[in-house]
């Protein structure tokens, strides 16, 4: 099975700054799948249309983008496929608005979180273990957005395990068991992200942010389930920093330096996409942290979607984004469901640990306590304390599992 990267293009409405400057609109949407440059006064076409899987006009909202581009990818991640959605575009084109949104209009990330917990609720026959990490690449340094200030060191290293999987060493992963908990973690990470004002955007992201969920799931069962396969998938939701032109953003000093890093890593991403779209044998994944971390999502074992955001007033930069989007459309991935039978899956290890603890508890309880009372009363107290600890540990492990509140299908069939 081979899947092309799904590509959507979104043109945002004019923002107040552009309205005040009486900026002209240079782009027109064709039929929901194409976009072309027009002359603002005559509205005559100035180029042949760029075609994509979907093109979203100024009146589309985040929910529209989510339903057409993201929902299928999120469902695939829940079914065990690695998946990635990223937003790409020039500064101020609406990437953060699309990925994160705001209170009135939640973006792809909060909508995905809601979708994931609704799907779990609708699927009572499986149990899930969900972990989250949140990192940013700022000036080519990886920072953990979930680490407290005193835990932040010099930056995290990208490593490769013996199977060739790329990972970020020492990145914090938190187990989460509710939508509210995950949203709170997302907000905490957002607060830690590098943001600054520029002439183009009052809150310009100065880093690439990768919000990653690791989803493990397996059939729920009562009996001996040690050989039940666990599916494990990585879902990356990525808000890239925007390409920028110093003469437009007015960047100087630190901002100029950041812009240099941003443009360079986006150039590397563009080159990787180009190489993949042309089927080249050698691909420069290792030339930037961003392409290294996203390696699997670009031409690998993953379902990937990209939302390319453009402004209605940009001309050269919009063409440049659309060329990137056209190349991305030609990239093929090879997604497969990742099933794990070994104890590499945390869910498997949890299940085994729960079972071992339950066995020890049963053993402890079967000891003839009456005899022991005669002998050493303190020993009994000690055993009781140990039992409580085991029970506590079992319930803590179980708390991390996310399951539907509905009865399992099998239980419903026999009327439980």
Ligand X SMILES: Nc1ncnc2c1ncn2[C@@H]1O[C@H](COP(=O)(O)OP(=O)(O)OP(=O)(O)O)[C@@H](O)[C@H]1O
Q: Known binding site for ATP: residues? A: 89-96
| Strand-strand pairing, 54-56 and 6-11 | parallel
- Least Cα distance to 88 among 333, 331, 323 occurs for 323
Q: Is 132 helix (H, G, I), strand (E, B) or coil?
A: strand
Which one of residues 6, 7, 9, 15 is an interface residue with ligand X (CB under 6 A)? 15
| 20 Cβ neighbours under 8 A, 6+ residues apart | none
Helical packing angle, 316-329 and 253-277, nearest 10°: 40
Give yes or no for residue 54 binding ligand X (CB under 6 A).
no
The contact pattern for ligand X, residues 176-215, with x = CB under 6 A and - = no contact, is -------------------------x-xxx----------
3-state secondary structure of 298: coil
Q: Say whether 34 sits in a helix, a strand or coil.
A: strand
* Site map 234..263 versus ligand X, x via CB under 6 A: -------xx---------------------
Name the strand (E) or helix (H) holding 237: strand 230-239
Instruction: State which of residues 12, 28, 255, 348 lies at the interface with ligand X (CB under 6 A).
Output: 12
Task: Count CA atoms within 13 Å of residue 376 on its CB side.
Answer: 6
- Determine if 292 is a binding residue for ligand X (CB under 6 A): no
Query: Which one among 37, 68, 84, 92 touches ligand X, defined by CB under 6 A?
Result: 92
Q: Which is nearer to ligand X, 62 or 76 (CB)?
A: 62
Segment contacting ligand X by CB under 6 A, of 85-93, 125-133, 229-237, 298-306: 85-93
Which of 190, 274, 309, 318 contacts ligand X by CB under 6 A? 309
Angle at 289 between CA 283 and CA 291, to 5 degrees: 35
Q: How many residues bind ligand X, per CB under 6 A?
A: 18
Minimum distance from CB of 143 to ligand X (Å)? 17
The owner of tokens 């940009």 is: 314
x/- letters, 316..335, toward ligand X (CB under 6 A): --------------------
Residue 375 Cα distances to 106, 364, 369, 371, angstroms: 65, 17, 10, 7
| Residues found near ligand X in the complex (CB under 6 A) | 12-13, 15, 89, 91-97, 201, 203-205, 241-242, 309
């Amino acid at each position: 099975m081979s899947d092309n990267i799904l590509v959507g293009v979104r043109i945002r409405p004019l923002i107040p700054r552009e309205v005040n400057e009486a900026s002209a609109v240079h782009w027109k949407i064709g039929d929901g799948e194409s976009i072309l440059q027009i002359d603002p006064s005559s509205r005559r076409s100035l180029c042949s249309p760029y075609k994509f899987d979907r093109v979203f006009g100024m009146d589309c909202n985040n929910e529209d983008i989510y339903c057409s581009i993201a929902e299928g990818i999120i469902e695939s991640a829940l079914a065990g496929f690695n998946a990635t959605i990223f937003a790409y575009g020039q500064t101020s084109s609406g990437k953060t608005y699309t990925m994160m949104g705001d209170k009135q209009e939640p973006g792809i990330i909060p909508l995905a979180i809601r979708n994931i917990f609704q799907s779990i609720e609708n699927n009572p026959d499986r149990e899930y273990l969900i972990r989250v990490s949140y990192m940013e690449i700022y000036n080519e340094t990886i920072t953990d957005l979930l680490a407290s200030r005193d835990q932040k060191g010099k930056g995290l290293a990208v490593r490769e395990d013996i199977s060739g999987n790329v990972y970020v060493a020492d990145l914090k992963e938190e187990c989460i068991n509710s939508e509210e908990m995950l949203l709170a973690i997302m907000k905490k990470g957002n607060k830690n992200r590098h943001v600054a004002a520029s002439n183009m955007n009052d809150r310009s992201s100065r880093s690439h942010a990768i919000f990653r969920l690791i989803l493990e799931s397996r059939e729920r069962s009562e009996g001996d389930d040690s050989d039940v396969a666990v599916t494990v998938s990585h879902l990356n939701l990525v808000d890239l920093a925007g390409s920028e032109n110093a003469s437009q953003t007015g960047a100087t000093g630190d901002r100029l330096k950041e812009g240099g890093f941003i443009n360079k890593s986006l150039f590397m991403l563009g080159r990787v996409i180009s190489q993949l779209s042309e089927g080249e044998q050698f691909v420069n994944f290792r030339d930037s942290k961003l392409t290294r971390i996203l390696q699997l999502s670009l031409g690998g074992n993953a379902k990937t979607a990209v939302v390319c955001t453009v402004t209605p007033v940009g001309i050269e930069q919009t063409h440049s984004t659309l060329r990137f989007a056209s190349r991305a459309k030609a990239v093929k991935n090879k997604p497969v469901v990742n099933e794990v039978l070994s104890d590499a899956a945390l869910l498997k290890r949890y299940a085994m640990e729960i079972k071992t603890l339950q066995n020890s508890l049963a053993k402890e309880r079967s000891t003839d306590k009456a005899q022991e009372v005669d002998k050493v009363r303190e020993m009994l107290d000690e055993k009781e304390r140990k039992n409580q600890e085991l029970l506590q540990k079992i319930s803590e492990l179980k708390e991390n599992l996310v399951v539907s509140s509905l009865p399992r299908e099998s239980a419903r069939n026999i009327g439980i």
